[in-house]
Structure 1
Amino acid sequence: MDCSVCGKSFDALRFLSEDKDSRLNDDLPYPDHQTLDQGPQTRRVWFVATSLVALLLVAQILYFEGYRLTMQPQLRAHLDKVCATLSCRLPPYRNLEELSVSHSDLRVRSDSGYLFSAVLSNQAPYAQAAPDLKLSVLNFNGQAIAERVFSSAEYLLKPTTLAPEQTVEIRLFVVPPAAPIGGYTFSLL
């Protein structure tokens, strides 16, 4: 007879008895005297296989979620220390939630143009790249009549990186559209 699990042949008749209280005389039920647990060698193979699978899981997490993890303020300090030791480089920190805009305004200038101004502050504990800014001018019905995306190089004179707790003023000159302006919206990208 063959085992349905391991495929080995065995003699099942030698273990059958009509006496309920009879015990087996054989200590090892398999004819080739193999047991299921083969000792330290099997444990080593399982340890190596489990370690490789765990490393593969960590590699997948880093591959698919690595960038997002480096943008977490709680992990960033630890990752900076690890990269300093390993001589690696983290991607530039970028978290729009830690940027705040205040005092935004759109005013008519004397030359019939418009001046958009705002104050942008980096509230992150790390330096981060200044974001792009999307400015939309609206008609009196709230519909966009013109919009443009300004890169950080267009509204900042110096390098486009904001230091921790740095505040900069944004000043953009806007050519008036054909329709009258009733309002504006802007967003950081």
Structure 2
Amino acid sequence: MLVLLIGQMFYFEGAALSNRPSIRSILAAVCSAVHCQLPAYRNLKAMTFRQLNLQAGADRSYLLSGALSNQGLFPQAVPNLRLTLTDLSGNVIAERVFWAEQYFESGMLYPDQTKPFRLQFAAPTTSVAGYALNLL
């Protein structure tokens, strides 16, 4: 009965449990022994941006450059990014999602790894006064 209960717990809550660093190491050892595969680790709180810089281009485009760093304990898939542009009043004037494949060649960021990125996009018709970059 206990094995069945544990099995059901992992079946229904496995993804959430595998994202806890203290439990993931144990689960990795168990999966190694029974030949199963853990779901990809995902902890967006362990991902940080560094050196973000938004520059206007002469050709009515913008370039947002920076770096993304994985401060987590495990490799993580590179997340998608949502860029939101605002005007002087703080109103959203444009939004765009950049898929991981659009800005990174490899799909993984390893622990303590930082990779630069460059996002180029067309300028909106309204002047850009600010921006927000969020992980998805």
Q: TM-score normalised to the size of structure 2?
A: 0.93
Which segments of structure 1 move beyond 6 Å, counting only runs of 4 or more? none
- Aligned counterpart for 1:171 among listed residues 98, 118, 123: 118
Q: Where do residues 137-156 of structure 1 align in structure 2 (5 Å cutoff)?
A: 137-156=85-104
Mark the CA change 1:56 to 1:78 in structure 2 (over 3 Å): closer, same or farther.
closer
The residue identity in structure 1 corresponding to 2:6 is V
Q: CA deviation at 1:71?
A: 0.6
Unaligned runs of 5+ in 1: 1-51
SS in 1 for 2:90: coil
The answer for the alignment partner of 2:133 in structure 1 is 186
Q: CA deviation at 1:56?
A: 4.3
- Aligned counterpart for 1:111 among listed residues 51, 54, 59: 59
Task: Give CA deviations for 1:159-179 in whole Å, capped at 9, x if unaligned.
Answer: 111122110112101201111
The residue identity in structure 1 corresponding to 2:69 is S
Query: 2: distance between equivalents of 1:117 and 1:108?
Result: 12
The answer for the alignment partner of 1:132 in structure 2 is 80
CA-atom RMSD in angstroms: 1.3
Identity %: 39
- The question of 1:121 aligning with 2:69 is answered yes
The answer for the alignment partner of 1:161 in structure 2 is 108
The answer for the alignment partner of 2:28 in structure 1 is 80
Task: Give CA deviations for 1:130-189 in whole Å, capped at 9, x if unaligned.
Answer: 000000111111111110111110011x21111221101121012011111111111001
How many residues align? The count is 136
Query: 2: distance between equivalents of 1:56 and 1:89?
Result: 19
Q: Where do residues 29-68 of structure 1 align in structure 2 (5 Å cutoff)?
A: 52=1, 54-68=2-16
The residue identity in structure 1 corresponding to 2:66 is A
Structure (1 or 2) with the larger CA radius of gyration: 1
SS in 2 for 1:83: helix
Relative contact order, higher structure (CA 8 A, sep 6+): 2
The residue identity in structure 1 corresponding to 2:78 is A
Q: CA deviation at 1:99?
A: 0.7
SS in 2 for 1:102: strand
Query: 1: distance between equivalents of 2:26 and 2:11?
Result: 18
